[in-house]
Amino acid sequence: MRKLWRGIANIFFWSYERGSWPYDVLVAAILIFLLATPRHWFQDGPRPSLPASSDIQLIEENNRSNEATYRVDARLLGQTKATTSTPELERRAHDILGAKVPALGDRIFQVERIDFVRGGDGALLDFDVTVRVSDE
C-alpha cells in the first residue's frame, strides 16, 4: 500500500528523472489526453466573429429631435429569438452602436426604442434601433 501512495506522490510531484520510463509514460499520457480530448469538454471551439459594421445601416435621421434610427442585424446583438425589448437588449444595442458607428462613438446618446424586423416566415432578421443624441 505504501508503494502505491509513493507512486501517486511521485506522479503528482513529478519526481521522475528525465529519460526514465515512468517519465516517458507520463509525457505520453499527457500528449494522448491533449490530442484525444473532445473540444466540447472544455467549451473550446471557434468563436463566432461579430458581423462587419455594414450590418448597421442608418435608415432615418431627424435633426430637429436629434433622433436617428439604425437597422442592426439581429446576429450582431446576439439576439435571434428575442420577442420583446429588454434592458439588456437596449444596453447591448447601445454598446454596439457606440463602438461601430463613428457618428455616435464620441457622443452621448440613449436608446429610445427598439423595433423588431421579421422576415416572411416570422424569423427575426434585424432590429430598428432609435437613438436620441444629446446636445452636450
The DSSP annotation for 47-106 comes to PPPPPPGGGEEEEEEETTTTEEEEEEEHHHHT-SS--S--HHHHHHHHHHHHHH-HHHHT
**For the chain, what are the domain ranges?**
2-42, 53-133
pLDDT above 60: residue 48: no
**Kind and range of the H or E run holding 129:** strand 124-133
Q: What is the pLDDT of residue 51?
A: 47
pLDDT in tens, 57-81: 899 888 888 899 999 988 888 766 7
For the chain, what percent of residues have pLDDT higher than 70?
Answer: 88
pTM above 0.75, yes or no: no
* Burial (0-12, 13-18, 19+ Cβ within 10 Å), 98: middle
Q: How far apart are CA 67 and CA 60, in angstroms?
A: 8
**Number of neighbouring beta carbons within 10 Å of residue 59:** 12
- Average pLDDT score, the chain: 84
Q: How far apart are CA 37 and CA 46, in angstroms?
A: 16
